[in-house]
Amino acid sequence: MAKQRKIIHIDMDCFYAAIEIRDDPSLKGKPIAVGGASNSRGVLCTCNYEARKYGIHSAMASSQAVRLCPDLIIVPVNFEKYRASSKVIHEILGHYSDTIEPLSLDEAYLDVTHSDLHAGSATLIAQTIRNEIFEKENLIASAGISFNKLLAKLASDWNKPNGQFVITPDMIKNFMPILPVKKLFGVGKVTAEKLKEKGIVTCGDIQKHSITEMVRLFGNYGKHLHLMAHGIDERAVCTEHIRKSLSVEETFSSDISPTHVPPYIFDDMFNELNKRLKKLKNLDKTDIKTLSVKIKFADFTSTTIQSSQTAFVIASFIHLFDTRIKNHADSTNVKDIKKIRLIGFGVSFKTEHTETNKAYQQLSLAFKS
């Protein structure tokens, strides 16, 4: 029989907000959030636990948050700082396992099944990781420990903030039935709503259905839901990421005219895409299948133009952009030409490419995978 796995999920507590409070102790104890200003179209990235008491949460419009808590202090986003901290945290994680899967700047899975540290106690390893993060970065992490990724992630949420929790196999029969389905990996608002229409709100409700019934109702995803509702998740902690495409995009601080895009924007984007491509293993430029340009207009409508005919040079991207903008201008009155809030450049590949997972490199506000 295969050895039971030991998986740790680490998730930093109110990550961006915690960094801002660490760097400005006068914010301590006050409700604070990180994000866009409340007098513009800003939204919040996150907030501390004091602010959460007022019902404030990530992705809420800043204006709404200030209505809920007039004393809320909103600190502007300082992404470089978060990325620097994330890099240190991921380096610390590297002291405890070679099998690490970063999920975002502040979250990662570690497989410690074969670790000799603390006589193989995943609970003690998690505690030591959290201590080291606190000592080196002065930030607080929570941890979840279990025998698969699904349960480890659920567990890290259990005693948040500043806590850890272990889910053992014998806890599954009591733990899963009461768990709301929206806590399951991949179940967002839309899926939760569809499940609710069938009277399914908790994992216990799923357990009442046979796997055949779940497949009949929800297709292949129904099978996946059925397994998760029983606490089963065979996914490995994955240190490599398979890529079929790569793109970078930039959202401008204010909308720009499509006919007056500063050339450095195209240069920056092309250079960033090129830099990211060079990091992929065994990539030959002839392996690029299509080039694409994405444009998001000020009214949030967006369009993507693709070409499989052109070479990977900046002029090809600019040509795609100009073609789309010309079509738009030809079909619109000059006064109605929409401004642009975001431009993206991307490529797709003929074959799949693997790269080492590094969350702090992959994510940025301006450039995304």
Using CB under 6 A, list all residues that contact ligand TTP.
Answer: 11-16, 45-46, 58-59, 106-107, 160-161
CA 273 – CA 349 distance, rounded (Å):
13
Give yes or no: 213 in active site: no
CA 217 – CA 229 distance, rounded (Å):
15
Q: Which of 88, 81, 42, 83 is nearest to 65 (CA)?
A: 42
Q: Which is nearer to ligand TTP, 12 or 126 (CB)?
A: 12
Q: Which positions ≥6 away from 303 have C-beta within 8 Å?
A: 294, 295, 297, 324
Q: Which is nearer to ligand TTP, 55 or 169 (CB)?
A: 55
Q: Which is nearer to ligand TTP, 16 or 175 (CB)?
A: 16
Q: Taking a C-beta distance cutoff of 8 angstroms, is the pair 135, 92 a contact?
A: no
**Smallest distance, ligand TTP to C-beta of residue 50, A:** 12
250 binds, among ligand TTP, Mg ion, none (CB under 5 to 8 A by kind): none
Q: Which is nearer to ligand TTP, 161 or 204 (CB)?
A: 161
Q: Which residues bind Mg ion (CB under 5 A)?
A: 11-12, 15, 106
**Smallest distance, ligand TTP to C-beta of residue 240, A:** 23
233 binds, among Mg ion, ligand TTP, none (CB under 5 to 8 A by kind): none
**Smallest distance, ligand TTP to C-beta of residue 59, A:** 4
**Smallest distance, Mg ion to C-beta of residue 34, A:** 12
Q: Which is nearer to ligand TTP, 107 or 355 (CB)?
A: 107
Q: Which is nearer to ligand TTP, 164 or 292 (CB)?
A: 164
59 binds, among Mg ion, ligand TTP, none (CB under 5 to 8 A by kind): ligand TTP
97 binds, among Mg ion, ligand TTP, none (CB under 5 to 8 A by kind): none
CA 223 – CA 215 distance, rounded (Å):
6
Report the Cα–Cα distance between both ends of the chain, in Å, rounded. Answer: 39
Q: Residue 244 corresponds to which amino acid? A: K
Catalytic residue among 20, 50, 107, 250: 107
**Smallest distance, Mg ion to C-beta of residue 235, A:** 20
Q: Taking a C-beta distance cutoff of 8 angstroms, is the pair 252, 344 a contact?
A: no
Q: Taking a C-beta distance cutoff of 8 angstroms, is the pair 69, 51 a contact?
A: yes
**Smallest distance, Mg ion to C-beta of residue 249, A:** 24
CA 333 – CA 214 distance, rounded (Å):
52
**Smallest distance, Mg ion to C-beta of residue 140, A:** 10
**What is the arrangement of strands in the sheet containing 240-256, beginning at the earlier edge strand?**
240-256, 340-356, 288-297, 302-307
Q: Which is nearer to ligand TTP, 17 or 225 (CB)?
A: 17
User: Catalytic residue numbers?
Assistant: 107
